[in-house]
Every structure is written in C-alpha cells, then in structure tokens.
Amino acid sequence: MKRTITAAFIALALSAGSAWADPSGSYNVEGANPGGEGAYKGTAVVSKNGDTFQVVWKIGEQTYTGTAIGNDDFLAVGYDAGGGSPGIAAFARKGSGWEGVWTYFGKDKIGVEKWSAE
C-alpha cells in the first residue's frame, strides 16, 4: 500500500511539473555552517533547466553548482561542494525569499540558509 501511494505521488508530481510556478531569480544569501562553524554571505541564482532548475551559489571565492526540483513553494537541491563533497539542501518559500537547511552527504549536522530577493 505504501509503495502504491508513493508511486502515485511521484507520478502526480512529475505530471504536474510543467504547471508549477517558477522560482527562478537572483538572491542574496546568508547562512551558518553545520555545527555553528561560522556564518557566511553570498549570492544564489536559480535558473530553469528543462523540468529542473540549476542553482549556482557564489560564497566568497567559491562557486557551488546544484540541480533542483520543486516549484514556487519548495526546492530540493543536490549540489557539488567540490573535492568529492556532494550535499543536499531543502528550501521553503518565505515571503519573497527562501529558508532552508543543508548538509554534506554522510555528515550528522546541518547548516541553515536564508535567501532574500536581490
């Protein structure tokens, strides 16, 4: 039963993808690293890429690139932090921006991040 419900939800989400609102835009980023290991600021740009979105963060001198699925209410992002450190992030719409959490694969602490429209 659980598998059938999950499959039905995925099918519905995939078929509705083209009707979802578009979260594309440029954002100012403020975040905190996992475990309270320091704050950071930068930018994020979300661009439509077929049925998915490309997310490019510029934090200091570093650039991080990810692929997201979602709509104007949520984004789930898999990203490459370089040096064999893939990660995952989940964001929810908050006003004209986004709030979310992120981590690197295999780690046990999360960071937080807020995006505000530029």
Domain CATH for 55: 2.40.128.120
- The full 3-state SS of the chain, as one line of letters, equals CHHHHHHHHHHHHHHHHHHCCCCCEEEEEEEECHHHCCEEEEEEEEEEECCEEEEEEEECCEEEEEEEEECCCEEEEEEECCCCCEEEEEEEEECCEEEEEEEECCCCCCEEEEEEEC
Name the pLDDT band for 14 (thresholds 50, 70, 90): very low
Answer whether residue 6 is part of any domain.
no
Answer whether residue 41 is part of any domain.
yes
Answer whether residue 51 is part of any domain.
yes
Domain assignment of residue 58, given as a range = 21-117
What total number of domains does the chain contain?
1
Answer whether residue 9 is part of any domain.
no
Length of the chain: 118
Answer whether residue 62 is part of any domain.
yes
Q: What is the pLDDT of residues 49-107, one digit of tens each?
A: 999 999 999 999 999 999 999 999 999 999 998 877 899 999 999 998 999 999 999 99
Answer whether residue 68 is part of any domain.
yes
The strand pairing partners of 49, in sequence order, are: 52
